[in-house]
Amino acid sequence: MSSLAVPMIFLALMGWLVPKLLSMVMPEGVRPLMVLGLIATLLMFVISGIFFFGLYVAQGTPLAALFEPGIAPTILYFGHLGLTAAIVWAPILILSVASLPSGWTQETW
């Protein structure tokens, strides 16, 4: 398995799982569904950045080296990586959010 496969599988699974978990605490309805989509997107952006930060640390990059340019540039760098990873998780997140109304019991689409 290539070194890209595991991160891609993780991000794809999170793109599917985050909206499903949020739907358990959010009310049913069109407006709440739109809010859920926005919250899920923001969460995936943060999760992706933290995931890439963890990959750097797991591969042995010292924390001092990561934060050498400063806190803000480091956050921006990993935020950029998280946003770039949206090419993997965003389509799955969109499909996951779009499938949520099929399980509604109180509201109709």
pLDDT for the residue numbered 109: 67
Q: Which domain holds residue 87?
A: 19-101
Alpha carbon separation from 8 to 15, 59, 74, 75, 109 (Å, rounded): 10, 17, 22, 21, 32
Tokens of 82: 């998280």
* pLDDT higher than 80, residue 108: no
At residue 15, does pLDDT exceed 90?
yes
Residue 107 pLDDT: 75
Residue type, 42: L
CA distances from 55 to 33, 59, 81 (A): 32, 6, 12
- The predicted-structure confidence for 60-97, as pLDDT tens digits, reads as follows 999 999 999 999 999 999 999 999 999 999 999 999 99
Asked if residue 8 belongs to a domain, the reply is no
* Structural domain contains residue 4: no
The contacts found for 7-10 with CB under 8 angstroms, 24 or more apart, are: 7/51, 7/52, 7/55, 7/85, 8/88, 10/51
pTM for the whole thing?
0.87
